[in-house]
Amino acid sequence: MDRPGQTGYMVLNEEGAVLSSSGDLENDEKFANSIMGLLNISSHIDLNDTPKEGFKKLSIVYEDHCYIVCLSNRKYHIIKKKTPHF
């Protein structure tokens, strides 16, 4: 983990296969399937209100941690990190 607060990462191909993973997300196929389902749902959001190229970054925020999903080079890069407590 090379980012402060990062507790895990995962890289998926466009079909949802895990290419690499580490930390809290290591070999978590169930999580990969859940993320792919969420990404599939996000592609059906009203396209009149969203850009045609799709999302650039998707954040899923909980009280003590968050997931950040980005698409780059036809791969989904996902990190899990702790959220700061204020």
Question: In the structure, what pLDDT confidence band is assigned to residue 10 with cuts at 50, 70 and 90?
Answer: very high
Number of H helices, E strands in the chain: 1, 5
Question: What local confidence, expressed as pLDDT, does residue 86 receive?
Answer: 58
Distance CA 46, CA 35 (A): 19
For tokens 């969420």, what's the residue? Answer: 38
Domains located in the chain, CATH noted: 6-82 (3.30.450.30)
Question: What local confidence, expressed as pLDDT, does residue 49 receive?
Answer: 62
Sequence letter at residue 1: M
Distance CA 67, CA 61 (A): 7
Residue-wise pLDDT for 64-75, tens only, equals 999 999 999 999
